[in-house]
Amino acid sequence: MKSLRILIALLMIPSTVVALDSARAVTSTQAFTATMSKGYQPTAANGGTDDYHCFVIDPHVTTNSIITSVTFKPQQKLIVHHMILFQVTGKDRASALALDNNGAGWSCFGGTGMGSSFSSFLTTPWLSSWAPGRNTDVMPAGYGTSIAKGDLLVVQIHYNLLAIEFGGVPKDRSSVVLNTVPASGSNLKPLFADLFPAPVELACPAGVTGDLCDRGKSLIDLARRTSRASALEAAGLNLICGQSAFNPTPNNTSTCDRKISQNELVIKATPHMHLLGRSMKLILNPGTPGEKVLLDRPQYNFDDQSPTVLSKPVALKVGDTVRVQCTFDPTLRAVLPQLKKAAPRYVTWGEGSSDEMCLGVLGVSHN
């Protein structure tokens, strides 16, 4: 239950060039590259088709810096479903290196498992992320993310083995490139990720039957092939969003309202669902005269999860409500090449490619 309690508590080799940014004078920029120290052979346990693995990678940052963009370089794009980058500061350095086991990495369904702030996929502060359609995460003009000299990174990679139909699974040795400017003298404002998830409860379509069409059996299977934390998150999200944790009503539309607890300025918005996703919206103060749509993807495309930079930043104030709303089509399981061979199932929130997510990510400034 620890993951559930934390979830509930939260949801309240460098090269030098010269660049000009609107928020700073001409200054030197540096590109720091961090690469997995060893090639990794992804495997899926207990009949699953997904492998969440974490690795410590060292960008060898030589001075306190501000990240202006992150370029992800997944070596095996066919099987890399997504990559999330976390920052490792001095206090967590020893535990991160211990988990990394000399470059072998570690299984990390449900989050990196490192330190109190790395307890779950949702409660971990993200430094940056990659999904199909967005190799480079460029910070909006005037904003960046801080990284200190000597900081390490943890990269969480979701390997989706559904894409392998013939032959063996190739080894992967992915990398990231951080483009930075020195923190000293920079006027860039810090940018943070604010996550807005909603539960997913998709029953088997009419006429479709199977053992895993039972929600309880589906959750047991989810925990077996991924982690208990995933099943806890599925239950916890329902509880947080005003539904029954263990007996929710299935619906092809997922929604959740969250009260804002800290003044923020929204700079960009990004959608994340899996293969059954059809549309997503993020709405500020829905149903009021001040309602404003922060993100609208009426035709969600899994292969293009690029962010939308708002034409004008939008202020979120304490007490405001942000609603995330996703629609899904469970019938796609029977026709999509990646899913049509999988057994029919009741689909919940989960980290596997055959599971689903409804997650809106806002890039915000707290200043």
Domain ranges within the chain, ordered by starting residue: 2-189, 192-365
Give the pLDDT confidence score for residue 108 in this predicted structure: 86
CATH topology assigned to domain 192-365: Jelly Rolls (2.60.120)
Give the pLDDT confidence score for residue 226 in this predicted structure: 83
Give the pLDDT confidence score for residue 27 in this predicted structure: 54
Give the pLDDT confidence score for residue 42 in this predicted structure: 93
2-189 and 192-365, same CATH topology? yes
Beta carbons within 8 Å of 316's beta carbon, 6+ residues apart: 260, 263, 264, 265, 266, 284, 322, 364
Name the token pair of 248.
């929710």
Give the pLDDT confidence score for residue 127 in this predicted structure: 84
Q: Looking at the domain that runs over 2-189, which CATH code has it been given?
A: 2.60.120.310
Give the pLDDT confidence score for residue 77 in this predicted structure: 87
Alpha helices in the chain (DSSP H): 2-10, 93-100, 215-225, 228-240
For strand 136-138 and strand 15-21, is the pairing parallel, antiparallel, or unpaired? Answer: unpaired
Q: In a structure prediction context, what are the per-residue pLDDT tens digits for the chain, which is 367 residues long?
A: 334 333 333 333 233 333 333 333 345 789 999 999 999 999 987 778 889 899 999 999 999 999 999 999 999 988 998 898 988 888 888 888 999 999 999 988 867 777 544 344 555 567 888 887 777 889 999 999 989 999 999 999 999 888 776 668 899 999 999 999 999 989 999 898 899 999 999 999 999 999 999 999 999 999 888 888 778 888 889 999 999 988 999 999 999 999 999 999 999 999 999 999 999 999 999 999 999 999 999 999 988 888 899 999 999 999 999 999 999 999 999 999 888 888 999 999 998 888 999 999 999 998 6
Q: How far from each other are the two terminal CA atoms of the chain, in whole angstroms?
A: 34
Give the pLDDT confidence score for residue 90 in this predicted structure: 80
CA dihedral 311, 312, 316, 322 (to 10 degrees): -20
Positive or negative torsion for Cα 218, 223, 225, 229: positive
Q: What count of residues does the chain have?
A: 367
Q: In sequence order, what DSSP letters do the residues of 170-211 get, joined into one string?
A: PPB--EEEEEEEESTT--PEE-EEEEEEE--EEPPPTT---G
